């Protein structure tokens, strides 16, 4: 990336700066509070769209330098012969004419790599190496490590976002499997314990179960047979009771024959008497004397009456017996009652005679005799059979329950083994996806050229000791000294070498460094010689150096051009304006 021109107006300490970059290395210097850092932050803001110190757009109004009456500010960078990056304040409008590499913030601010987390460093290196966590390469590596194919397919969607998400998913699955194992076994999970864990189960005696079943079947048959016998006994004794009751009833009915016959004889005689009375009363009521017979003479048709002795001429008007006519209804009623009594007596006589015959038949036949004692004995026998059956059933139920418990125990053992296998399988995947696993293997491919480039820069700079980025993303110098314990000047050198390595690997060929003044004179000389070597080897297009100096340096090589800033304005610009 070749920077052609930088223009900034009204941003923080910058009032008006316009720099036409004339050489690959631009040394932008000045005294304290001159506006160097404001210009550097403006360049970062123009390229990334974010202020390196405050990402809240609502605060962008505070970045405008209003000393000269400005209400807006901007920083504009022209690069690569016509491309441009620009940020306008206070609205935060960002303009970028081409998509830049994701590693650009790390060459705009070399100290950024040392300040971010190990995970962010890994993500950057993955981008630098064009490595993908969701590709077939990762799946092949998981299979090569012996990971479960089905579970690999389950974790692949999470690998689309990052190794971290996939590792977290696998770790969550381990916890889930262990929790399921604990819920199944009721015990705390342990890798060694889970290998041979078996659920306790009772002994199951199948021979006893068969014997109990046979006993139950036999007793059921005996109970059924004895119950039928009891039913027959009960029916017999109930029949005997009914027979005795019937005999009593029949004897009572048969004992009424003489009385019924006597009454029937009397009633029949009464009927004869009252039939005469009714007939006589009816004749008297008609004016006819009882015993007379009315006839007609066959010769002359004269009306005659035979009174039992002789024929006499019948009177034309016979005298009517009114008293007989009045008594006739009562006589007829009495006759009807007597006739009904006769009919009833005849029925009662037939019934009594039938009862006598049936009684004789019943008394001739004699059934089996069953006593209450016999019924009590058979009931006791049934209760004993039922008690034996209950005992056999309880024994069978216990065996059945033990069999069920044993089956449940086997199932629990099987489930626990499955959860343990899941935990082990997910643990293998989690270990493979951990930073020190497959990501470390893949990062080595991206990390090797970075470390090789840093080693090259150390040699050119004459840096005492070695600098390297470890597989765990720790930055070390002097074979074991942590980067975080280094001095500011040493960190500047290390940050610059890392930024140059990123620039070299990505092909950006640009970086800018602040606080160049931290280096002493010998280190500055070595640093500038290193940069000039990069320029001569066509390995860098532009380097922007910012530093606090007493005055603008002179007699610099043609690869380096100084730019002096004073009170937010380039000194050369002030001279030209004058």
Q: Cα(450)–Cα(462) distance, rounded to whole angstroms?
A: 18
pLDDT at 312: 62
Query: End of a domain among 343, 373, 403?
Result: 373
Is residue 519 a part of any domain in this protein? yes
Contacts of 479 (CB under 8 A, 6+ apart): 465, 466
Token pair of 166 as six digits:
């996939």
Contact, 254 vs 274, CB < 8 A? no
- Calculate the alpha carbon distances from 377 to 228, 241, 372, 391 in Å: 14, 20, 9, 21
Q: Cα-flanking dihedrals φ and ψ of residue 244, to 5°? A: -60, -40
pLDDT at 536: 95
Token look-up 């046979």 returns 214
DSSP assignment of 91-153: TTEEEESSPPPTTHHHHHSTHHHHHS-HHHHHHHHHHHTT--TTSHHHHHHHHHTT--HHHHH
- Give percent helix, percent strand, percent coil of the chain, each to the nearest 5: 60, 15, 25
Token pair of 263 as six digits:
């009454």
Quote the distance between the C-alpha of residue 121 and its chain's center: 39
Query: End of a domain among 348, 373, 398?
Result: 373
Q: Cα-flanking dihedrals φ and ψ of residue 293, to 5°? A: -125, 120
Q: For residues 40-59, b (16+ Cβ closer than 10 Å) or e, as one string?
A: bbbbbbbbbeebbeeeeeee
362 and 218 part of one domain: yes
Instruction: Convert the pLDDT of each residue in 49-106 to its tens digit.
Output: 999 887 788 888 889 888 878 889 999 999 998 999 999 999 999 999 998 888 999 9
212 and 348 part of one domain: yes
Token pair of 292 as six digits:
């007379």
pLDDT at 513: 96
Query: End of a domain among 312, 341, 373?
Result: 373
356 and 220 part of one domain: yes
Q: Cα-flanking dihedrals φ and ψ of residue 233, to 5°? A: -60, -45
CATH number at residue 250: 1.10.287
Is residue 138 a part of any domain in this protein? no
Long-range contact list for 337-345, CB < 8 A, 24+ apart?
338/267, 338/270, 338/271, 338/274, 339/271, 341/263, 341/267, 342/264, 342/267, 342/268, 342/271, 345/260, 345/263, 345/264, 345/267
Is residue 22 a part of any domain in this protein? yes
Token pair of 454 as six digits:
């840093």
Token look-up 């900034």 returns 8
Token pair of 477 as six digits:
């110098």
Secondary structure class of 198 (helix, strand, coil): coil
Q: Cα(34)–Cα(493) distance, rounded to whole angstroms?
A: 24
Secondary structure class of 470 (helix, strand, coil): coil
How many structural domains does the chain have?
2
Q: In what order do the strands lie in the sheet containing 475-477?
A: 467-469, 475-477, 481-482
Q: Cα(12)–Cα(153) distance, rounded to whole angstroms?
A: 53
Is residue 477 a part of any domain in this protein? no
What pTM does this model have?
Answer: 0.58
Contact, 469 vs 447, CB < 8 A? yes
Token look-up 């790599």 returns 113
213 and 86 part of one domain: no
| 569-570 and 560-566 strand pairing | antiparallel
pLDDT at 575: 40
Q: Cα(397)–Cα(179) distance, rounded to whole angstroms?
A: 34
Q: Cα-flanking dihedrals φ and ψ of residue 198, to 5°? A: -135, 140
pLDDT along the chain (578 residues), means of 10: 95 94 95 94 95 83 85 94 94 92 94 91 79 73 91 88 86 94 91 88 78 87 86 73 74 84 88 85 72 66 63 60 81 88 88 82 67 82 89 85 83 90 93 85 84 93 89 83 90 96 94 94 94 96 95 90 94 46
Is residue 367 a part of any domain in this protein? yes
Is residue 521 a part of any domain in this protein? yes
CATH number at residue 548: 3.40.50.300
- Residue 43 carries which DSSP code? H
Cα-Cα end-to-end distance for the chain: 34
Q: Cα(147)–Cα(142) distance, rounded to whole angstroms?
A: 6
Instruction: Please name every residue paired with 468 in a beta bridge, in sequence order, or none if there are none.
Output: 476
224 and 82 part of one domain: no
Q: Where in the sequence is the domain holding 360, given as residue range(s)? A: 208-373
Q: Cα(103)–Cα(125) distance, rounded to whole angstroms?
A: 9
Token pair of 268 as six digits:
């029949």
């Amino acid at each position: 990336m070749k920077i052609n021109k930088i223009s900034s107006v009204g941003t923080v300490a910058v009032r008006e700066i316009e720099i036409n970059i004339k050489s690959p290395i631009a040394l932008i210097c000045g005294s304290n509070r001159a506006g160097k850092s404001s210009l550097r932050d403006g360049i970062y803001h123009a390229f990334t769209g974010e202020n390196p110190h405050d990402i809240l757009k609502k605060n962008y109004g505070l970045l405008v330098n209003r000393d000269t009456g400005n209400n807006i500010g901007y920083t504009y960078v022209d690069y690569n012969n016509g491309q441009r990056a620009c940020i306008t304040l206070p609205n935060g409008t960002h303009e970028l004419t081409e998509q830049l590499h994701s590693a650009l913030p790390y060459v705009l601010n070399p100290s950024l790599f040392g300040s971010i987390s190990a995970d962010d460093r890994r993500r950057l290196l993955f981008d630098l190496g064009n490595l993908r966590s969701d590709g077939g390469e990762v799946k092949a590596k998981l299979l090569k490590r012996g990971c479960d194919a089905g579970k690999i397919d389950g974790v692949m969607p999470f690998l689309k976002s990052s190794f971290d998400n996939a590792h977290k998913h696998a770790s969550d699955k381990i916890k889930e499997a262990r929790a399921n194992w604990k819920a199944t076994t009721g015990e705390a999970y342990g890798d060694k314990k889970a290998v041979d864990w078996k659920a306790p189960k009772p002994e199951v005696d199948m021979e006893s179960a068969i014997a109990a079943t046979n006993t139950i079947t036999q007793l059921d048959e005996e109970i059924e047979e004895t119950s039928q016998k009891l039913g027959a006994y009960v029916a017999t004794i109930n029949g005997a009771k009914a027979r005795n009751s019937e005999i009593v009833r029949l004897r009572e009915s048969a004992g009424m024959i003489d009385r019924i016959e006597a009454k029937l004889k009397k009633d029949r005689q009464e009927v004869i008497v009252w039939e005469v009375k009714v007939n006589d009363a009816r004749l008297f009521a008609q004016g006819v004397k009882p015993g007379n017979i009315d006839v007609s003479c066959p010769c002359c048709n004269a009306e005659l009456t035979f009174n039992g002795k002789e024929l006499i001429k019948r009177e034309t008007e016979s005298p009517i017996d009114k008293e007989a006519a009045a008594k006739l209804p009562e006589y007829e009623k009495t006759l009807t009652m007597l006739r009904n009594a006769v009919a009833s007596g005849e029925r009662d006589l037939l019934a009594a005679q039938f009862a006598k015959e049936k009684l004789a038949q019943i008394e001739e036949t004699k059934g089996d005799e069953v006593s209450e004692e016999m019924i009590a004995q058979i009931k006791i026998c049934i209760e004993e059979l039922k008690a034996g059956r209950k005992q056999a059933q309880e024994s069978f139920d216990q065996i059945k329950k033990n069999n069920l418990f044993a089956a449940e125990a086997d199932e629990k053992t099987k489930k626990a083994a499955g959860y343990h296998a899941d935990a082990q399988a997910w643990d293998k995947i989690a270990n493979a996806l951990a930073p020190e696993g497959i990501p470390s293997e893949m990062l080595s491919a991206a990390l090797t050229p970075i470390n090789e480039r840093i080693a090259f820069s150390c040699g050119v700079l004459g840096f005492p000791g070695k600098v390297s980025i470890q597989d765990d993303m720790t930055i070390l110098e002097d074979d074991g000294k942590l980067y975080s314990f280094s001095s500011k000047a040493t960190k500047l050198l290390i940050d610059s070498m890392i930024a140059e390595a990123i620039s070299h690997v990505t092909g950006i060929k640009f970086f800018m460094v602040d606080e160049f003044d931290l280096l002493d004179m010998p280190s500055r000389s070595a640093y500038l010689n290193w940069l000039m070597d990069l320029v001569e080897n066509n390995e860098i297009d532009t380097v922007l150096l910012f530093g606090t100096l007493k005055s603008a340096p002179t007699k610099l090589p043609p690869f380096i051009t100084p730019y002096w800033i004073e009170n937010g304005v380039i000194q050369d610009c002030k001279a030209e304006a004058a």
